Amino acid sequence: MDAVIRAVVLYGFMLVIIRAAGKRTLGEMTNFDFVLLLIISEATQQALMGADDYSITHALLVIGTLVGLDVIVSLVKQRWPLVQKLVEGTPLVLIENGVPIQKHLDHSRIDRADILAAARLAGLERLEQIKYAVLERNGTISIIENSGSYASPSAP
Amino acid sequence: MASDDGAAPAPASSTTEIDLDQDLPFQYWSWRVQKVIWGLLAFVILLATLGLFGPGPLSHATAGGTEKGLWVEYDRFARFQAPTIMKLHLSRQPNMPTRAQVWISKAFLEAGRLDRISPEPLAVAAESDRQVYTFLLGEPGEHNTVRLFFFPEQTGTIVCRMGLEGEPHLGFTQFVFP
């Protein structure tokens, strides 16, 4: 039973804490983000597995519980769109017709340099060439050129 | 202005031009909740630094008076299966024997695992509801400290009773976080 409880509690906590950290934590991964992810995974692994239980059964229970929770959350999201908003957030326009929406940038902790980096990946040179810059649910920034053609998101 | 192919002019600039599930009221509400969670997180980290979840100023406590033959330093808060150290301070009063017998309640010992005692006792005796540990003391007036390395194996409040033979017992509680 404790394997299941640990997995449920940790899954729920990680969902809340990553969501509270903001979308940019998920999007472009810097060296610091990478190190943070490694440390979080190590801390989570110890709490999930507990002490002195290296049995296959325990590992299978934890994995099964986590996958099961993921399926449940995806089904709930599909059924109730509000849950999807709560869990994943919503897209957010950061730039409209070359004009930054400063409030959205500040709250999302994104600066002009981040937008321009995303724009360069889309083959653009200046902010004025951007019709829309959208912060997607997964933390990436999508750039739509002023010509109206779609430019792919800034992260793979 | 009409485009070259004679199509209708583009509408005025607006985010409604883009097909997007943006929900600004929800987004603004999320940001407020986010700030609250950040505040709570900072508060919890501060409390943790001060010892709410383990050793630290908030957690450190003593039981018994320093003038008695036995007084104990312990942590009010511990974590499941994480080590917590209790320090037993033994004073040999004048005309007292060189050996002290400290008893610890079985209920407490069964709530976890006593991994190590330093220095090791001369003898250990099991009784119906407690275990008795015999330690060698130094000269009268000399300070003797025994460290118990205890790993709680149940969560919630655990009660410890211990004492010296012939003296009133000490009682204290620890709260063990999961």
Q: How confident is the model at residue B14 (pLDDT cuts 50, 70, 90)?
A: very low
Q: How far is B43 from chain A (nearest CA, A)?
A: 15
- Position B16 scores a pLDDT of 53
| pTM strictly above 0.95 | no
Neighbours of B160 (CB within 10 A): 21
- Candidates A18, A23, A93, A146, partner chain B, best to mutate (most B CBs within 10 A): A93
The burial class, CB within 10 Å (0-12 / 13-18 / 19+), for B36 is: exposed
Residues of A within 8 A of B81 (CB-CB) are 50-51
The amino acid at residue A31 is N
Cα of B39 to nearest chain A Cα, Å: 11
Determine how many CB atoms are found less than 10 A away from the CB of residue A43. Answer: 11
Q: Give pLDDT, residue B5.
A: 44
Band of pLDDT at residue B30, cut at 50, 70 and 90: very high
Mean pLDDT value across chain A? 83
Side chain identity at B171, as an amino acid letter? G
DSSP state of A21: H
What's the rounded Cα separation, in Å, for the pair A118 and A154? Answer: 5
Higher pLDDT, B97 or B158: B158
Burial class (CB in 10 A: 0-12, 13-18, 19+), B141: exposed
Residue range B155-178, pLDDT digits in tens: 999 999 999 887 888 999 999 998
Residue-wise pLDDT tens digits, A87-124: 888 999 999 988 999 999 999 999 899 899 999 998 99
| Both tokens assigned to B139 | 């000269």
The 3-state DSSP class for residue A138 equals coil
Mean local confidence (pLDDT), B27-35: 93
Residue pairs between chains A and B whose CB atoms are closer than 8 Å: 37
In the structure encoding, which two tokens stand for residue B76, read together? 């009010």
Q: How far apart are CA A143 and CA A130, in angstroms?
A: 7
pLDDT of B42 above 70: yes
Q: What percent of chain A has pLDDT over 90?
A: 25
Kindly calculate the radius of gyration of chain A based on its CA atoms and give it in whole angstroms. Answer: 19
Assess whether pLDDT exceeds 80 at residue A151: no
Q: What residues of chain A lie within 8 A of the CB of B30, using their CB?
A: 89
pLDDT reading at B2 higher than 50: no
State the DSSP code for B120. Answer: P
